[in-house]
Amino acid sequence: MREFITGLPKCELHLHVEGTLEPGLRFELARRNAVGRPYETVEQMRADYDFNDLPSFLACYYEGISVLRTEQEFYDLAMAYLRKAASENVRYAEIFFDPQAHTSRGVPFDVVIRGLRRALVDAEAGLGIGAQLIMCFLRDFQAEYAMATLLEALPYRDWIVGVGLDSDEKGNPPAKFAAVFARARQEGFMLTMHCDVDQEDSIEHIRQCIEQIGVDRIDHGVNVLEDPALVEVVRQRGLGLTVCPISNSYVTDSMKTDAIRRMLDMGLRVTINSDDPAYFPGYLQENLIAVHEALGLSREELVQLERNAFEVAWLPRHVKDAFLAELDAYAG
C-alpha cells in the first residue's frame, strides 16, 4: 500500500509555504542573516520546537519565519517544497503564503511574491508540477491591515488564485473580515478560511464562513460534524474540507481520523493535506499513509480522497479533468 500511495497522483490543498521551512534551511538562513536566537546546531534549534496547541505552534512558526529576507530565499523555500512534493507525485498544489508575517517585519510584499512566483514557474517547467498561490490574512491582526494587504496584492492579481485566513482563531471570527472577503470576491479571488480544529466557537465560525462569507472551501472544518444542519449545507454545496491529520495530532488530542471516516462515508468532499510539514513531520504522502494505517482505507477510498481534492481544486474544468484522467488511469 505504501507503494500504491507513493505512486498515486496527488493534490495538496492545505500547505503553508512558510510551514515547509525545514530546520536545516532555517539554521542556514539564521546564520546568514544574523537573525533569530543564536543556536549552535540544527539539533539544538529543532529541540526548541515545543507546542501542543495552536498558539504555542504559531509562536514557533513565526519565530522560524523571521529568518526569511530576500527574494532568493523565498524562491529557495518554495522550490525546496516543490521538489519534495514532485518526488511524492504531488501533481498539483495550492500553496498558502502569509504576506503580513513578512511585511509586518519590514520585508516588502513584492520581494515575497516575486520569489514564490518564480519558484512556481520554474517548478512547472522543470519538474512538471502545477501550483498556484493562495494569499492568507493573519486573523489576529486588524481587518484594516488585511484590507491594505489585499489592495497591495491587486497589481499581482494574476499570480494569486484565492485568499484565505489563518493564524490564531480565538476571538478572531470570520465575520471580522467580512468586508475584506467581500472585496476579494469582487476582485475575482476564490475564498477559503481556516476553521481550526476544536477551537472556541468552532461551529459558529464554520457557520459564519458558509452563511456570511460564502467561502468556496473550508480549511480543516472537522467540527462541522457536530452540527447536522451545517453538514447538510456543506454536502449540498459540495464544499471541500482540507483536513490535516498529522497537524491535528500536534495541536489537538488526535489525528481526527474517525472524523475523516465519517466524512468519507457521508460523501463529503474531504481531502488530506499536510499544513506545516516542517513542524508537523510528514508531507502529503506520510499523511495519507497515517490515515490509511488508522482506518485501513481501501485503494478505492484512497483514490476517492485524491479525486475529492482535484474536484475542489481551483482549476479550470479541462485541467481538472486531465488530472482526474491520470488518477483514473492509475487506479486502473
**Under the rule (CB under 6 A), what is the footprint of ligand ADE?**
16, 19, 54, 61, 166-167, 194, 196, 247, 275-276
User: Is residue 98 within the footprint of Zn ion (CB under 5 A)?
Assistant: no
Nearer to ligand ADE, 30 or 193 (CB): 193
Collapsing DSSP to helix, strand or coil, 264 comes out as helix
CA-wise closest residue to 201 among 165, 227, 238, 180: 227
Instruction: Select from Zn ion, ligand ADE, none the partner in contact with residue 173, using the beta carbon and a kind-dependent cut-off of 5 to 8 Å.
Output: none
**From CA 193, how far away is CA 149, in angstroms rounded?**
16
DSSP 313-332: SSS-HHHHHHHHHHHHHHH-
CB 250 within 8 A of CB 279: yes
CB 312 within 8 A of CB 240: yes
Nearer to ligand ADE, 26 or 194 (CB): 194
Query: What does the radius of gyration of the chain's CA atoms come to, in whole angstroms?
Result: 19
Closest approach, Cβ 222 to ligand ADE, in A, equals 12
Which residues, in sequence order, are bridge partners of residue 241? 218, 270
Nearer to Zn ion, 124 or 140 (CB): 140
Closest approach, Cβ 94 to ligand ADE, in A, equals 14
**From CA 183, how far away is CA 170, in angstroms rounded?**
24
Collapsing DSSP to helix, strand or coil, 144 comes out as helix
Tell me the residue number closest to ligand ADE, measured at CB. 166
Instruction: Select from ligand ADE, Zn ion, none the partner in contact with residue 269, using the beta carbon and a kind-dependent cut-off of 5 to 8 Å.
Output: none
**From CA 139, how far away is CA 137, in angstroms rounded?**
6
Closest approach, Cβ 142 to Zn ion, in A, equals 21
Q: How far is CA 292 from CA 33, 38, 159, 313, in A?
A: 41, 40, 35, 22
Instruction: Select from Zn ion, ligand ADE, none the partner in contact with residue 88, using the beta carbon and a kind-dependent cut-off of 5 to 8 Å.
Output: none
Nearer to ligand ADE, 248 or 304 (CB): 248
Residue position matching grid coordinates 500536534: 250
- 113, amino acid identity: I
Closest approach, Cβ 154 to Zn ion, in A, equals 24
Nearer to ligand ADE, 196 or 306 (CB): 196
Residue 171 sits at φ, ψ, to 5 deg, of: 80, 5
Cβ-based neighbour number of residue 1 at 10 Å: 14
Instruction: Select from Zn ion, ligand ADE, none the partner in contact with residue 103, using the beta carbon and a kind-dependent cut-off of 5 to 8 Å.
Output: none
Nearer to ligand ADE, 100 or 308 (CB): 100
Closest approach, Cβ 15 to ligand ADE, in A, equals 9
Closest approach, Cβ 49 to Zn ion, in A, equals 17
With contacts defined by CB under 5 A, name the span among 122-130, 176-184, 206-214, 268-276 that binds Zn ion.
268-276
Instruction: Select from ligand ADE, Zn ion, none the partner in contact with residue 167, using the beta carbon and a kind-dependent cut-off of 5 to 8 Å.
Output: ligand ADE
Nearer to Zn ion, 30 or 245 (CB): 245
Nearer to ligand ADE, 284 or 297 (CB): 284
Residues 6+ apart with CB under 8 A from 266: 231, 235
- 130, amino acid identity: G
Tell me the residue number closest to Zn ion, measured at CB. 275
Closest approach, Cβ 61 to ligand ADE, in A, equals 6
> Which of the residues 270 through 299 are near Zn ion (CB under 5 A)?
275
Distance of CA 240 to the CA centre of its chain: 13
Closest approach, Cβ 107 to ligand ADE, in A, equals 17
Using CB under 5 A as the criterion, which residues of the chain lie in contact with Zn ion when the complex forms? 275
